[in-house]
Amino acid sequence: EMVRDCRHGTGDGQRLQTYYRRWENTSQEDNIWKGILSVIFFFLIISVLAFPNGLSVLYFLFLVFLLFLSHEQVKAVMYWLDPNLRYATRESDIMEYAVNCHVITWERILSHFDIFAFGHFWGWAMKALLIRSYGLCWTISITWELTELFFMHLLPNFAECWWDQVILDILLCNGGGILLGMVVCRFLEMRSYHWASFKDIHTTTGKIKRAVLQFTPASWIYVRWFDPKSSFQRVAGVYLFMIIWQLTELNTFFLKHIFVFQASHALSWCRILFIGIITAPTVRQYYAYLTDTQCKRVGTQCWVFGGYLRSAVGFSFLCFFCFFLMIRLRIKMSSRNK
């Protein structure tokens, strides 16, 4: 019957024939891209029904796949996603860092308050919402600046003037973001949560308020990472938490430096936003494991995040090692030619 419809150009056969013509005229790249998006879509649908870690597992598997590619092959994938990345340059190639640090003027200080300074401030406000501890936030903030000092010989954009690092970064941007995030945390802790159904609300204003509240937390608990009676396991767990946090941050800058894309590119800030989303349940599960005596093992999201971090760090340093060897090989070849 369908063959007969195709011959006469009616019914399901005509629709099938139209679909086949469209499919036949599309390029190979479009078909691959649509196939990848369809696989991701159905994987996330299944993850909603079977397990709650769909996005994290998908990103983890993607990193495992990248581990089997060379540096040039990964860059080819990036060029396929965005051809403009072929002409991308590093910030360190077009900008100078930590120059004339003894010259301190208001014009120079104000010039540092750009979109990246706001990113520092807003980023630490979000981190404070996740960590919810002044002591832990300030410790991570200060140790991160020390991490920049240790790695600035590999990442030139880590080089900063002392007043930029201490006053602008630690005190103003990071400190202001921590203060804002903790104030929001205290407000949410003291707030009373009264959830009601739309059917029980009879006014339009009340329904609008209820719709807005749908995007706020269902509850908010008081967080206490440190306790006077903390066991050695809890203290060691907090130190491990800070190390993992620093590795996650450091990996972002290594990826940006190795594969040559700027912080303003969508590949950079979309990845940071995605990592922030999957970090929220990870921190919650890890905190429950450290502080709740009835919790005997970490949650599945912690295991998935650990796998992601191990793959990401291994991938970054493997590519950096290959990149370093390639540069040394080019230097030796150029010296021989001379």
Three-state secondary structure string covering the chain: CHHHHHHHCCHHHHHHHHHHHHHHHCCHHHHHHHHHHHHHHHHHHHHHHHCCCHHHHHHHHHHHHHCCCCHHHHHHHHHHHCHHHHHCCCHHHHCCCCCCCCCCCHHHHHHCCCHHHHHHHHHHHHHHHHHCCHHHHHHHHHHHHHHHHHHCCCCHHHCCCHHHHHHHHHHHHHHHHHHHHHHHHHHHHHCCCCCCCHHHCCCHHHHHHHHHHCCCCCCCCCCCCCCCCCCHHHHHHHHHHHHHHHHHHHHHHHHHHHCCCCCCCHHHHHHHHHHHHHHHHHHHHHHHHHHCCCCCCCCHHHHHHHHHHHHHHHHHHHHHHHHHHHHHHHHHHHHHHC
Please give the pLDDT value at position 193.
46
Residue linked to tokens 């509240």: 213
Under the banding of pLDDT at 50, 70 and 90, the label for residue 25 is low
More confident residue, 152 or 220: 152
Q: Is residue 66 predicted with pLDDT exceeding 80?
A: yes
* pTM of the predicted protein model: 0.78
Please give the pLDDT value at position 177.
95
Mean pLDDT of the chain: 80
Q: Is residue 6 predicted with pLDDT exceeding 50?
A: no
Please give the pLDDT value at position 199.
62
| Weakest mean pLDDT among 121-125, 166-170, 179-183, 325-329 | 325-329
- Domain limits, the chain: 1-49, 51-88+226-338, 107-219
Query: Quick one: average pLDDT of 232-242?
Result: 87
Q: Is residue 269 predicted with pLDDT exceeding 80?
A: yes
Under the banding of pLDDT at 50, 70 and 90, the label for residue 122 is very high
Query: Quick one: average pLDDT of 50-69?
Result: 87
Under the banding of pLDDT at 50, 70 and 90, the label for residue 156 is confident
Query: Quick one: average pLDDT of 174-178?
Result: 94
Instruction: Of 25-34, 95-104, 209-218, give the range with the top mean pLDDT.
Output: 95-104
Please give the pLDDT value at position 191.
54
Q: Is residue 1 predicted with pLDDT exceeding 50?
A: no
